[in-house]
C-alpha cells in the first residue's frame, strides 16, 4: 500500500484491563514522559513484532497441525500461553483470580456490552419467559 493510500485519521480503540494493570501502565507511561495512549500504542506495536503474521482465512485452512503445536505437542492456536506469559512479569506474583481477570480481559463486562449492542441492533433478543437470549430470526 502506498503512502497516498494509508488512512492516517484517528479512531478510538476500547479495551478493558484490570485496574492494577492500568495503574502500572500509567506509571510506566509517566516514567517515559508519554501519554497513556501513546504508551499503549507503542507497546502494542512493539509486541506485534514478536508475533508471526496471521494467515488469511484461506491460508489457515491449508495450515498443518504442526504449525499450531509446540515441540511437546501443546496446542498454541488460541495464544493462551503467550497471554499468560505477557501478564506475568519476572519477580511478580499474581493470585489465580488476578491472573484469570487479566487473561479474560473482564469478559463479563465485554459480554454485557456486546449483548446490549446486539439487542440494540435487533440481532439478539432476551426473553424472560424463556430464560435467555436468542438470535432474532
Sign of CA dihedral 40, 42, 44, 47: negative
Q: Is residue 4 part of a domain?
A: no
What is the per-residue pLDDT for 49? 66
Which portions of the chain are predicted below pLDDT 50? 60-72, 74-77
97 and 50 housed in the same domain: yes
> Would 20 be classed as within a structural domain?
yes
- Same domain? 43 vs 98: yes
Shared domain check, 116 and 55: no
- Dist CA 76 CA 84 (whole Å): 12
| Same-domain check for residues 19 and 41 | yes
Query: Are 51 and 118 members of one domain?
Result: no
Do 83 and 41 sit in the same domain of this protein?
yes
Q: In this structure, are 87 and 135 located in the same domain?
A: no
Let me know whether 137 and 86 are in one domain. no
* C-alpha–C-alpha distance, residues 14 and 117, integer Å: 14
Around Cβ 101, how many Cβ atoms within 10 Å? 21
Give pLDDT, residue 125.
92
Q: What is the pLDDT of residue 83?
A: 78
136's grid cell: 432474532
Number of residues written out for the chain: 137
Q: How many domains does the chain have?
A: 2
110 plus 132 within the same structural domain: yes
Provide the H-helix boundaries in 1-52: 19-31, 36-48
Distance CA 83, CA 102 (A): 9
What's the rounded Cα separation, in Å, for the pair 135 and 119? Answer: 9
Given a contact cutoff of 8 angstroms between Cβ atoms, the answer to whether 120 and 132 are in contact is no
2 located within any domain? no
The pLDDT assigned to 52 comes to 60
Domain of 87 in residue numbering reads as 13-62+78-105
Amino acid at each position: 500500500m502506498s503512502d497516498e493510500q494509508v488512512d492516517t485519521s484517528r479512531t478510538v480503540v476500547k479495551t478493558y484491563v484490570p485496574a492494577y494493570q492500568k495503574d502500572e501502565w500509567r506509571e510506566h507511561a509517566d516514567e517515559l514522559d508519554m501519554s497513556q495512549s501513546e504508551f499503549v500504542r507503542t507497546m502494542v506495536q512493539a509486541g506485534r513484532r514478536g508475533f508471526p503474521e496471521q494467515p488469511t482465512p484461506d491460508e489457515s485452512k491449508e495450515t498443518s497441525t504442526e504449525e499450531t503445536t509446540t515441540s511437546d505437542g501443546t496446542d498454541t492456536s488460541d495464544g493462551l500461553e503467550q497471554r499468560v506469559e505477557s501478564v506475568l512479569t519476572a519477580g511478580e506474583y499474581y493470585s489465580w483470580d488476578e491472573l484469570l481477570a487479566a487473561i479474560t480481559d473482564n469478559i463479563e463486562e465485554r459480554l454485557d456490552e456486546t449483548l446490549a449492542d446486539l439487542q440494540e441492533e435487533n440481532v439478539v433478543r432476551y426473553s424472560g419467559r424463556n430464560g435467555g437470549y436468542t438470535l432474532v430470526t
